[in-house]
Structure 1
Amino acid sequence: MPWDSETEGDAALSLSDIAEWYTTRIGKEMGPGPWHTVTPADVMRFADATHDWQWIHLDAERALNGPYGVPVAHGFYALSLVPHLTSSLLDLRWTSLGLNYRVDRVRFPAPLPVGVRIRAGAHIKSVRVRPRDFLEVVLAVSVTAEGQSVPACTVDHARLYQLAPGATLPVDGPVDFTPDPRPGS
């Protein structure tokens, strides 16, 4: 039997421990995260991937006479960047797997001009332990372009995470944790 000042070793961290840690941070503003430039090349690749080649996104000359006076990125392009733009806002080193689970309340309140820089801010909206040992974390996210007061995209983004063996409690961000999942990297 150990003395009162001793421990019998570190107790294994549970998903409930992580859920409790995140629950105490519900409503706390996180970010903004780092800037990301919306390049014409990225918008073209997105158009190719989604088969949405509308001129308002790709034809700079024609867009001059369009409703915004400049080419604008697809709203879904901004939405697709939410996991990347929020990746530094949460310490996810405790996870072995993260999945996009759900998006709710998606809005595109302002156009996203091609060539601008964007970044995201968020707050934790809810946390709950789910079946199959997943933790659901819902972030209320706002993606804003530099110089604009109205967000280009807002969304409630639900993610599911599983606990990694030997995980430790997260730390408050920002964090620099962007693993490269490509094979051989």
Structure 2
Amino acid sequence: MTTTLTLAELEGAADRDLGTSEWHAITQEQIDLFAKATGDHQWIHVDPEAAANGPFGTTVAHGYLTLAMLPMLLSEVVSVSDAVMGVNYGTEKIRFTSPVPSGSRVRLHAKLVRAERRGPSVVWTVGVQVEIEGKEKPALVGEVVYMAAGAPHA
């Protein structure tokens, strides 16, 4: 379920649990497309035969593919109703703590760490943990920073 907040509510909602996204499958096709887009064709990602004999027993998603999914996953958890747009602002303390095997399902658990008004906008930091279904250790942990842009005052 998506939580909807206004910019004013977001600003006052530090240390708030935002919830958990739906599960999403990570397919080999997604991994291959990400490799093509980024030029990272390392065999652990794109060569199922070689990867079957490698350290993970199968291909694994790029860590940055998992990171790149955060805006989509977060949109399932929270929305800012009066923002005219949202933009990625930065990352803090991102760690790739466990590989994501092809065919796995992942989901996001998010917590609002802090939010600060900047003119008509709010810069908000979200604690993130990307979980892998059936695994104890998450794939990714850290903080991401977004800007929810309000309408400029005339």
Q: State TM-score, norm by structure 2.
A: 0.89
Unaligned runs of at least 5 residues, structure 1 = 1-16, 166-185
Out of 132, 136, 139, which is 2:123 matched to? Answer: 136
* One-letter identity of the residue aligned with 2:115: V
Residues in 2 aligned to 1:57 and 1:102: alpha-carbon distance in whole angstroms:
26
Aligned to 1:34: 22
Out of 23, 34, 39, which is 1:46 matched to? Answer: 34
Unaligned runs of at least 5 residues, structure 2 = none
Give the secondary-structure state (helix, strand or coil) at the position aligned to 1:43.
helix
Aligned to 1:11: none
Mapping for residues 93-108 of structure 1, pairs under 5 Å: 93-108=81-96
Residues in 1 aligned to 2:84 and 2:76: alpha-carbon distance in whole angstroms:
17
Structure 1 residue 55 and structure 2 residue 43: aligned?
Answer: yes
CA RMSD of aligned residues (A): 1.8
More strand by share: 2
* One-letter identity of the residue aligned with 1:72: V
Aligned to 2:137: 150
* One-letter identity of the residue aligned with 1:145: I
Identity fraction in percent? 32
Cα shift at 1:107: 0.2
Residues in 1 aligned to 2:146 and 2:16: alpha-carbon distance in whole angstroms:
18
Q: Is the 8 A contact 1:19 1:128 kept in 2?
A: no
Aligned to 2:99: 111
Q: State TM-score, norm by structure 1.
A: 0.75
Cα shift at 1:22: 2.4
Residues in 2 aligned to 1:158 and 1:81: alpha-carbon distance in whole angstroms:
14
Q: Deviations over 1:37-74 (max 9, x none)?
A: 10111100000000000110011111111111111100
Structure 1 residue 71 and structure 2 residue 59: aligned?
Answer: yes
Runs of 4+ in 1 over 4 A off after TM superposition: 17-20
Cα shift at 1:30: 2.3
Cα shift at 1:164: 4.9
* One-letter identity of the residue aligned with 1:44: D
Q: Is the 8 A contact 2:95 2:140 kept in 1?
A: yes
Out of 38, 48, 70, which is 1:82 matched to? Answer: 70
Counting matched residue pairs gives: 148
